Chains A and B, each alone.
Chain A
Amino acid sequence: MNPKIMIVDDDQKLCDLYRAVFTAQGYKVCVAQNGEEALTKVTEEKPDLVLLDIMMPNIHGLHILDIMKATPEVSNTKIIMLTALSDEQTKEKAMAYGATDFIVKSETTMGEVLERVQKALTRG
Chain B
Amino acid sequence: MSNDKVREVMSDGFLQDIKKAQYISAATAASSVILTILVVTITPISAEAVRNVWLIGALTIIFTAIYYLVPGIYFDKRLTLFPDVVYTVAIVTIMKNLGEWGYLYIIFFLIIIALNSFVYNLKNFILSTIVILFGVLFSLLPIAISLNVFFYKLAFELYGVVALAIVLRLFATEALRYKAKKDELETLNRHLALEKYEITNLFDSISDIIISLDTKGRVILLNEKAASVFSLDKKKMVGKKLENYVNLVGQKGPFNFSEAISCQRGKSLFRNDLELIGEKETKSFFCTITPLHDENEVFQGSIIFMHDATKEEELEKKKEEFTAIASHELRTPLAVIEGYLHFLLTNNDLKYDGETKKYLNIIHESALELIKLSKDILLTTKSEAGTLELTIEKTDLLKLLKEVMKEYSSKINDKGLKVTITTKEKALEIKTDKAKLKEIVINLLDNAIKFTEKGSITISLFKTGGEAVLSIKDTGIGIAPEAQKLIFQKFYRAEDWQTRATGGSGLGLYVCKSLAERLGGQINFQSKKGEGSVFVLSLPLAFSKKKRLASNKKSNNILESLLKNF
Enumerate chain A interface residues (CB-CB to B < 8 A). 11, 13-14, 17-18, 20-21, 24-25, 84-89, 91-92, 105-114
Picked from A18, A91, A107, A110, the residue with its CB within 8 Å of the CB of B331 is: A107
Q: Report Cα–Cα, A84/B324, bound state, in Å.
A: 11
B521 CB, min distance to chain A CBs, angstroms: 19
Q: Report Cα–Cα, A21/B350, bound state, in Å.
A: 13
B339 touching A106 by the CB < 8 A rule?
no
Q: Report Cα–Cα, A72/B53, bound state, in Å.
A: 133
How many residues does chain B have at the interface if contact means C-beta atoms less than 8 Å apart? 27
Given contacts A106-B334, A107-B331, A111-B407, contact A17 B343 (CB under 8 A): yes
For the A-B complex, the count of residue pairs with Cβ-Cβ distances under 8 Å equals 64
B347, closest chain A residue (CB): A24
B343 touching A106 by the CB < 8 A rule?
no
B338 lies within 8 A of chain A by Cβ: yes
B389 touching A106 by the CB < 8 A rule?
no
Most-contacted residue by chain B among A17, A91, A107 (CB, 10 A)? A107
Q: Report Cα–Cα, A13/B343, bound state, in Å.
A: 14
A107, closest chain B residue (CB): B375
Given contacts A17-B343, A85-B328, contact A110 B338 (CB under 8 A): yes
22 intermolecular pairs with C-beta atoms under 8 Å apart: A13-B336, A14-B336, A17-B343, A18-B339, A21-B343, A21-B346, A24-B343, A24-B347, A24-B348, A24-B349, A84-B328, A85-B324, A85-B328, A86-B378, A105-B332, A106-B328, A106-B335, A107-B371, A107-B375, A108-B335, A110-B341, A110-B343
A17 CB, min distance to chain B CBs, angstroms: 4
B389, closest chain A residue (CB): A88
Picked from A88, A108, A110, A112, the residue with its CB within 8 Å of the CB of B391 is: A88
Q: Tell me the dominant secondary structure on chain A's binding face.
A: helix
A87, closest chain B residue (CB): B389
Picked from B331, B390, B407, the residue with its CB within 8 Å of the CB of A106 is: B331
Enumerate chain B interface residues (CB-CB to A < 8 A). 324, 327-328, 331-332, 334-336, 338-343, 346-349, 368, 371, 374-375, 378, 389-391, 407
Most-contacted residue by chain B among A17, A89, A92 (CB, 10 A)? A17
Picked from A88, A89, A110, the residue with its CB within 8 Å of the CB of B339 is: A110
B339 touching A17 by the CB < 8 A rule?
yes
Given contacts A14-B336, A110-B338, A110-B343, list 12 more A-B pairs with CB under 8 A: A11-B332, A21-B346, A87-B389, A89-B389, A105-B335, A106-B327, A106-B334, A106-B371, A107-B331, A109-B371, A110-B341, A111-B342
Counting from the closest, the 5 A-B pairs by CB-CB distance are: A106-B331, A110-B342, A88-B389, A24-B347, A110-B339
Chain A residues whose C-beta falls within 8 Å of the C-beta of B407 in the assembled complex: 111-112
Chain A residues whose C-beta falls within 8 Å of the C-beta of B334 in the assembled complex: 106
Most-contacted residue by chain B among A86, A105, A110, A111 (CB, 10 A)? A110
A91 touching B343 by the CB < 8 A rule?
no
Q: Report Cα–Cα, A17/B371, bound state, in Å.
A: 17
